[in-house]
Chains A and B, each alone.
Chain A
Amino acid sequence: DTGVSQDPRHKITKRGQNVTFRCDPISEHNRLYWYRQTLGQGPEFLTYFQNEAQLEKSRLLSDRFSAERPKGSFSTLEIQRTEQGDSAMYLCASSLLAGGNEQYFGPGTRLTVT
């Protein structure tokens, strides 16, 4: 296990297209988080899962965004009808429920919407 992985690492898409990102957390971690980071900003929380349950969603997560974690392992984040404002780094993190909230981050997926 080499830590949290994300795929793809880079994605260029045209406005209006749908994109899907994947996150594989550290295997025994039951919590999984999605964040978004734009240039010059810190990561902003989007949503998180405990096992397969999505427990919280940010108001940043418009109805064009959907996240799933169907078996409590990997997660996907889909953006429908992408807009230029969606261009950002999408970060995934995972943690153990009893781990004192130490979140381990993946390398991120950089999305560019043209």
Chain B
Amino acid sequence: AQRVTQPEKLLSVFKGAPVELKCNYSYSGSPELFWYVQYSRQRLQLLLRHISRESIKGFTADLNKGETSFHLKKPFAQEEDSAMYYCALSWGGSEKLVFGKGMKLTVNP
């Protein structure tokens, strides 16, 4: 079955430090990978997806099919990056999303 694993539940860093939020997936075909973010008291929203290959709010993520990973990175974290981050996978045109359990990022001043 398709699965998304976010191995760490919590990450706490200081402002200006680099961050990497890990995401691994299991799917043998060609997946579509996403990162969703939920800021405090806000709804879940799309941060970025691998097909667009964009940098959003300084975040980037590269799909590594060999390692089945889609890690989210930012070189210099900001306090406003503090949020819950979810990695998600869809495949085969079904469009439904399979989410990881999420990771809470805290950026301290």
Residues on A facing B (Cβ under 8 Å):
3-4, 31, 33, 35, 40-45, 48, 56, 91, 93, 95, 100-108
Contacts and interface: CB of A to CB of B under 8 A. Distances in A.
Interface in B63-93: 86, 88, 90
Interface of B: 4, 32, 43-46, 49, 51-52, 86, 88, 90, 94-102
B101 A91 contact: no
Contacts of A107: 43
Contact of B86 (A42, A45, A95): A42
A45 B96 contact: yes
A41 B101 contact: yes
A48 B96 contact: yes
Contacts of B49: 100-102
A61 to B, nearest CB: 12
